[in-house]
Structure 1
C-alpha cells in the first residue's frame, strides 16, 4: 500500500506516482478539514458510506439500459495526468461485496490536484442490468492504475480505490411492515466472525440521506428485526437489532429485515435505517453498509 500522505514516498522524497480515490466528500466535513483525497479510510463516521456522490446513475429500471459516470481524484505528486481504469459492478442489495457482477469499464485521465479539489469524470458507461434483477440494486466502482492498484477485496469503506451507492427504498405503514431482502457477504478471503447490525441513523446523517433522494426526514418511531432467509427471527425487535454471523471467505448469505413504523408516513418523507457488517463483536472494522429508506405506500 502507498504511504498515508499523498505525494510522499517511503523515504519522504517527492513521489510522482498517482494517488487515486473515488471521493466521498468535496466540502470539508470538519472545521479546518479538506476535501476527500483518499487518505482517510476507513471512512469517517460523518460520511454516508452507502451513498458516494461521485457515482452518478440515471433512472434505473431492470431490463433497460442504465447510464453511469464516476468521478475520480488524483492527489499524487506528479505533474502529468494518470490514465486510470474505472470498473463498475452491480449487485442485489447486499451488506459487503463478495462477487459483484461486472457492469462496464472506462479509462479516465486524472490530473494531479494538490492545491485545489478537482475531479476527472469518466465517459458515460451504458449497460443493461437483467430484467430479473430486483427493483433496487447496488452500484460498486473501483479505480486503479499500474502504479496505484486497488486492493482485491471489494471494500468501499476501507479502500480509497473503491466506492458504492447502496441504498434501497421500501414501502411501510402501521400494520404493514416492510420486509426487504438483502444479502450479507464477507469481502475478504479469510473466514471471520462479524456482527450484523441494523437500526437507526443519527438525525444529521438520516436527514442528509433523505435529502439526497429528494425526501424529508419523517418524524415517527420504528422497530426492526433481522430475519434469516426463511423468515425466522435472529435479532430484535428494537430500534437496533444485532446478531453474530460466521462467514467463510467470500461467503454470501441471505437475510431479511422486518421494519415497522409507529405512525403514517407522509408522501415525500422517509425513515432511514442503516445495516452494517462489522468485524469481530461489533467493535472492529465496518466492511459493509446498506441504507434502507422506509417510505409511504403509493396510493
Structure 2
C-alpha cells in the first residue's frame, strides 16, 4: 500500500519517505534565506502565480502543427533512498481557467526522474509532442509527479474536488500562460473554457483584471519582455450569450456562471487596449475563476498581449 501523504516534509524526512513536488519558485527568490518551494505552503503565497509554475518549461511558444518540447523540475524535500525514481507526467488541455480531469489522449509524455533526499531538484528528460494542424489555438500544460511511496491523493481541499487542484496539492502544477496579438486598433479576442472541478453544482465568478506588481515582476522574468501600462476595456461572455446576442446586456469585466459538477462551458474574452505593445513589450491580463459561495480561487490564465509578429501567426 502507498504511504500516506498527510505528513509534513520534515515528518516524511524523519520517516525516510520522499516528499515530492514540482517547485513553483527557486531557493532565494523570496529572500536570501528562503529555501524555495518545499511543498508545505499550500495554498501558495500571494506573490506566487498558482497557474504559472516555473518548474514546467517549454523550448518554444506553442503553435498548432508544430512540436512542443516540455521539461519538468522535480524536487524532494523529504527522505527516501538515493537512486529511487519518481515518475512525472505532462498533459496538454484546452485553455481553461480550471479543470475537471485530464484527457488521456492529451498525454505529452512520461519520464522517470532520480531525485535524492532533502532539497535535491532534478529536471526531467525532454518530452516532445507534435500537435496536429487542427489543434486548439491556445492550450495549457498540467504536470503531476509521484512515487510508489508518495502517491498523490485522489482529491484535495477544498473537499469534493474531482482531482487535486494545481497550486493546492504539491504533486500537481500547471503552466497556464497564453499569448495573443491585438489587431491594429488594439482589439484582442481570446476563447477559453471554464470548468467545475467539484462533484456538485457550483456558481463561479470569472473575472479579468490587471496583474498586481508582485505577480507582474514574476511574469516579466517568464516572458522576457518589458511590461507596459495600458488602459483596457474588457468583456467576458459565455459563448452562448454571444451567439444569442446577449453580450450587451450581460458583458463586463466579470461574468457569473453556474456549472454542474464536472462540466464546463465555453467563454470568450474580448478587449480594447488604449496602447498596443511594441516589439520587446507586453501587456498582461489576469483571468481568474472563483467559487462565489466561499470566494475560493480554483484557477486562472495569464494572458500576455504581444506586439504583432508574422512569425507567430
Please, what TM-score do these two structures have when normalized by structure 1?
Answer: 0.87
Give 5+ residue unaligned stretches, structure 2. 155-162
What is the total number of aligned residue pairs between the two structures?
289
Match of 2:170 in 1: 160
- Answering whether residue 221 of structure 2 is matched by residue 218 of structure 1, we say no
CA contact (8 A) 1:195 1:281 kept: no
Aligned to 2:203: 193
Aligned ranges 1:1-299 → 2 under 5 Å:
2-3=5-6, 5-8=8-11, 14-28=14-28, 30-31=30-31, 32-59=33-60, 60-100=62-102, 101-113=106-118, 117-152=119-154, 153-172=163-182, 175-230=185-240, 231=242, 232-233=246-247, 237=252, 241-281=253-293, 283-284=295-296, 286-298=297-309
Cα deviation, residue 96, structure 1: 0.8
SS state of the match for residue 94, structure 1? coil
CA distance in 2, matches of 1:99, 1:6: 27
Per-residue deviation, 1:149: 1.5
| 3-state secondary structure, aligned to 2:218 | helix
Report the Cα distance in structure 2 between the residues aligned to 1:154 and 1:88, rounded to whole angstroms: 15
2:137 & 2:223 partners in 1: Cα distance? 16
CA distance in 2 between counterparts of 1:235 and 1:76 reads 50
Three-state SS of the structure 2 residue aligned to 1:86 is strand
Distance, in Å, in 2 between the alignment partners of 1:254 and 1:135 is: 14
Give 1:160 deviation, angstroms: 0.8
Per-residue CA deviation, residues 117-163 of structure 1 (Å, 9 max, x unaligned), is: 43122121122222211333211100112222123315212111111
Deviation at 1:81, TM superposition (A): 4.3
- On the 8 A contact 1:195/1:282 being kept in 2, the answer is no
Of 253-262 and 181-190, deviating more is: 181-190
Q: In the alignment, which residue of structure 1 is the partner of 2:159? A: none
Provide the C-alpha distance between the structure 2 equivalents of 1:281 and 1:223, rounded to a whole number of angstroms.
27
Contact 2:96 2:192 in 1 (8 A): yes
- 1-structure distance, mates of 2:191, 2:8: 40
Shift of 1:29: 5.0
Deviation at 1:6, TM superposition (A): 0.6
Would you say the 8 A contact 1:207–1:216 is kept in 2?
no
State the alpha-carbon separation in 1 of the partners of residues 130 and 309 from structure 2. 27
Secondary structure (helix, strand or coil) at the match of 1:139 reads: strand
Aligned alpha-carbon RMSD (Å): 2.3
* 45-54 or 170-179, which deviates more: 170-179
* 8 Å contact kept, 1:105–1:125: yes
The Cα offsets for residues 234-260 of structure 1, whole Å up to 9 and x where unpaired, read as 7654xxx22322222221111000121
Deviations 1:4-45 (A, max 9, x none): 521316xxx922211110000013454453310111111111
For normalisation by structure 2, the TM-score amounts to 0.84
Q: How big is the shift at 1:79? A: 4.4
Task: Give the stretch that moved more between structures: 68-77 or 223-232.
Answer: 223-232
Between the aligned partners of 2:294 and 2:173, the Cα distance in structure 1 is 22
Deviation, 1:210, is 3.3
Q: Is contact 1:93–1:183 with CA below 8 Å preserved after alignment?
A: yes
Secondary structure in structure 2 of the residue aligned to 1:179: strand
